[in-house]
Structure 1
Amino acid sequence: MHRHHNGVRTAVLLGALSALILLVGRAVGGATGLTAAVLVALATNGVAYFASATIALRSVRARPVSEFEAPGLYRVVRELSTAARRPMPRLYVAPTAAPNAFATGRNPRHAAVCVTEGILGLLDERELRGVIGHELSHVYNRDILLSSVAAGLASVVVWLAHLAWLVPLGGDDDDEGVNPLGMLLLLVLGPVAATLVRLGVSRAREFQADASGAAVTGDPLALASALRKIEAGVRRLPLVPEPRLRTTSALMIANPFRADGPARLFSTHPPTEERVARLLEIAGHQR
């Protein structure tokens, strides 16, 4: 039921943003703008669907890792994938001391799991197993596909907002200059819509993946312990919020940037203490 509820919320959110893109196209360029908005949305979603894994992995400069280099990581992933009767994803390591991990790919057969050097040095094997269970749950629940579509739609809105500054778009064929209504929609509602997509999709799927990951491993306390360590590690070694990392950050198991004070309200991830509390509750029910 919880998974179904999250799916409905995500579908409603994506549908609302798709409608906003079409309204913006119509307001800015009439019928021509509407057609252009549809074409751009389809093209962007196509790129997001087929190339999302490559884009995400390149953004953190991840490299494929062999079983000889990371035998413990391979052992954990192979055991969990075999138990779930699913294909084993490709494994990557990102060269950063900041502890984090994420999964990407359009489906289980084209999935990849990436961990940072920092998380491999921070967690013990039991905690790493909890993290991998969380990431594999994202793959098995098809969260990655939803995230790719959401990122694609958000990118369209942001791209149109920037385009409004560069191209004189009129609302009428006989009108020259910028349509004030279109400019308002692009500059105000565009970034807001993009933020809502990242918040709505990411927070819902993180809670769901925590619960699913705990079911995959049978050890919710391991993931809870890992989340506490990752939270402390991120506070000590946060990533610099560069543009190339902002989209990928929504895929990671924890917000890789420093998020203190008001910034917590705009984080793509729910508070760690709330996630840990839910995992402890799951562990209590299991006992």
Structure 2
Amino acid sequence: MNATKTAMLIAGMTALFTGVGFLIGGGRGMAIAFCIAAAMNLFSYWNADKMVLRMHHAREVDARTAPEYYRIVSELAARANLPMPRVYVVENDQPNAFATGRNPENAAVAATTGLLQRLTPQEVAGVMAHELAHVQNRDTLIMTVTATLAGAISMLGNFAFFLGGNRENNNPLGFIGVLVAMIVAPFAAMIVQMAISRTREYSADRRGAEICGNPLWLASALAKIADAAGRTVNYDAERNPATAHMFIINPLNGQRMDGLFSTHPDTQNRIDALGAMAAEMGAVQPRAPVAAGARPGPWSGAGRAPGRVPGRRKGPWG
């Protein structure tokens, strides 16, 4: 099913890229854009993960350079029956994390220094389990390829004013076509946000909670991350907004609602869903924290420390 969704999404992004080319340069522009899109599809399939990691200046770590963080990921990967992914750290004060890679055999997970410094080992385990759930569900291919193509579409729109709008470019719409391209291209990231189903986040939350063994660890982490993310600027994410959907919490400032163009579900809705899951699993005190500025839901209980789920094997995080 995910393979079909990936193919449909890539086809849609290619059509959009080609359409922008037509608006800029008519038939010739459309043909050139199609060739570029085809080459980028092939390139991004093999290299999108490397590009995303480079965009965010991620550095790879191992058991020697980041022992606790690496051990948590290793234990979680074993619990999920996944190959050990490459592990990265992003030097950024905003607590956040993402996963990338075309398949579980070529996956990578990354956490910011802000996340590793501000969260407890249990909360870090909840976050990284969520990211491994994306890997297991094979969401990462869609995320990384889409981020690359959306960035290319936005860049093409930025060049529209300089590349099109005259007869030599064989643009039948003239300057109007260029204006349309300039207006459409900045909305490429919004199109990505609509194409990437937000139900993937709920699915990754649930599977991540199963992997780490306690939904409340992830719930507590989400509350902390959402609170800090709104007060901390992630400059790399602001420069590359097409990658925002890859993070566990939207890294861009100013977006707090579960609206039409949101890259993520409302944080409090996710916390409440995890609280309900904790009750189903029989966790002690099935209450989750409240996200900053949110109205407490039926499972909210700010200040309550998450308990361990009875019968679940403890990992190195506690």
The two structures have a TM-score, normalised by structure 1, of 0.84
In structure 2, the partner of 1:105 is 101
Matched, 1:129 2:128: no
Match of 2:79 among 83, 88, 94: 83
Aligned match for 1:183, one of 178, 184, 188: 178
Shift of 1:220: 1.4
Q: Deviations over 1:241-264 (max 9, x none)?
A: 665443333321112232257897
Q: By how many angstroms is 1:265 displaced?
A: 6.6
Residues 1:263 and 1:159: Cα distance change in structure 2 (over 3 Å) = farther
Task: Kindly state the Cα deviation for residue 270 of structure 1 after the two structures are TM-superposed.
Answer: 2.1
Match in the other structure for 1:152: 148
The code of the aligned residue for 2:39 comes to: A
Shift of 1:132: 0.8
* Partner of residue 164 from structure 1, selected from 154, 160, 165: 160
Point out the more displaced range, 261-270 or 17-26.
Answer: 261-270
Q: How does 1:3-18 map to 2 (within 5 A)?
A: 14-18=10-14
Q: CA deviation at 1:126?
A: 1.5
What code does the residue aligned with 1:179 have?
A: G
More helix by share: 1
| Separation in structure 1 between the aligned mates of residue 243 and residue 18 of structure 2, nearest angstrom | 26
Question: How far does residue 167 in structure 1 lie from its aligned partner after superposition?
Answer: 1.7
The alpha carbon displacement at 1:169 in A equals 5.1
**Which of 131, 139, 146 does residue 143 from structure 1 map onto?**
139
Superposition deviation, residue 62 in structure 1: 2.1
Equivalent in the alignment of 2:45:
49
* Whole-angstrom CA distance in 1 between matches of 2:141 and 2:171: 40
Aligned to 2:189: 194
Larger relative contact order (C-alpha < 8 A, sep ≥ 6)?
Answer: 1
Higher mean C-alpha displacement, 132-141 vs 263-272:
263-272
Inter-partner Cα distance in structure 1 for 2:25 and 2:198: 34
Q: How far 1:182 moved relative to its partner?
A: 2.7
Distance (Å, rounded) in 2 between the aligned partners of 1:196 and 1:31: 24
Partner-residue secondary structure (3-state), 2:246: coil
Q: 1:101 Cα deviation (Å)?
A: 1.1
Q: Is this contact kept in 1: 2:88–2:109, CA < 8 A?
A: yes
Aligned to 1:206: 201
Pair 1:271 & 2:266 matched: yes
CA apart distance, 1:30: 4.3
C-alpha deviation, 1:34, in angstroms = 2.8
Give distance in 1, aligned partners of 2:175 and 2:53: 39
Q: How far, CA to CA, are the matches of 1:202 and 1:239 in structure 2?
A: 23
Instruction: Give the Cα separation in 2 of the matches to 1:7 and 1:281.
Output: 31
Identical counterparts, % of pairs: 39
Q: Secondary structure at the match of 2:14?
A: helix
What corresponds to 1:93 in structure 2? 89
Runs of 5+ unmatched residues, structure 1: none
Aligned residues: 282
RMSD: 3.0
Distance 2:171 2:59 in 1: 50
Task: State the one-letter code of the partner of 2:96.
Answer: N
Q: Taking structure 1 as reference, are residues 156 and 117 closer, same or farther at Cα in structure 2, changes over 3 Å only?
A: closer
Unaligned stretches of 5+ in structure 2?
Answer: 283-318
- Tell me the secondary structure at the aligned position of residue 88 of structure 2: strand
TM-score by length of 2: 0.76
Residue type matched to 2:249 in 1? A
Report what 2:66 is aligned to.
70
Per-residue deviation, 1:181: 5.0
Give me the whole-angstrom Cα distance separating, in 2, the residues matched to 1:137 and 1:230: 18
CA distance in 1, matches of 2:104, 2:235: 30
Alignment of 1:7-46 (within 5 A): 14-46=10-42
Q: Which amino acid aligns with 1:192?
A: F
Q: Contact conserved, 1:10 with 1:200, CA < 8 A, in 2? A: no
Alpha-carbon distance, 1:172 to partner: 8.3
Aligned to 2:57: 61
